[in-house]
Amino acid sequence: MIIKHTHGATLSNTNMKHVTKTTRASKDGKFIYCPKCGAVARVFHFSWSALGCCSCNEMIPKYDWLLEDPCIPRGENRMVFSLVFDRNYTDFVFKFNEKYLHEHGYYLDEVDASGSRTVWCCLPLGSSNYEDAIDFPQWMYDDFRQWLLMRHRMKEDDFSICRRMPDPGLGIMLPEDFELLKKGGTPDGCIRVTT
């Protein structure tokens, strides 16, 4: 399943399968898709009336969620959601690819590194083109954190960074880094230039 997103897209999904009163989730959960942006979510029950999409931040009524990928193309004005992770533990990501993601048809590809940070985009197996990257799904990020805890007994706080966010671009500048710069500090991986 290739999941692509755009904000503000209009989608004709009348022929697609929607969540119904009889929809159930297995013990591993069920994937559902946002009708606004196409983002995938995994739910373990349907005892809710609406659910907020983690990608477009829209509150979507239960019966509007889709059971099949609407394949909405991602807009040009938004970076793909990626994994920003501690550079000292890149082997953990490679092992997660090998032991878990490959069976789902994806892998995380390192696209940037700066200081102690790396950025990983999610690609379908067989592709190495950043243009094919999908948003790193929230369910995959949750599984990655659970995998780190189960396999390595490590939590998010044990790393310098472990975050799902839009690709911060070259230099891997995070929103809080700009505040640190204003206060005269030096963000991780940045070298202050003096004139």
Confidence of residue 177 (pLDDT cuts 50, 70, 90): confident
Distance CA 156, CA 70 (A): 32
Domain contains 178: no
* pLDDT for 13: 55
Give the SS3 label for residue 77: coil
Confidence of residue 60 (pLDDT cuts 50, 70, 90): very high
Whole-prediction pTM: 0.69
Report whether pLDDT(33) > 70: yes
Domain contains 156: yes
Same domain, 120 and 164: yes
Number of domain units in the chain: 2
Task: Please give the radius of gyration of the chain, using alpha carbons only, rounded to the nearest integer.
Answer: 18
User: Of 143, 164, 175, which is closest to residue 54 (Cα–Cα)?
Assistant: 164
Same domain, 49 and 112: no
Same domain, 61 and 141: no
Same domain, 89 and 51: no
Same domain, 51 and 99: no
* Segments forming the whole domain that contains residue 42: 1-72
User: Of 98, 124, 100, 123, which is closest to residue 110 (Cα–Cα)?
Assistant: 123
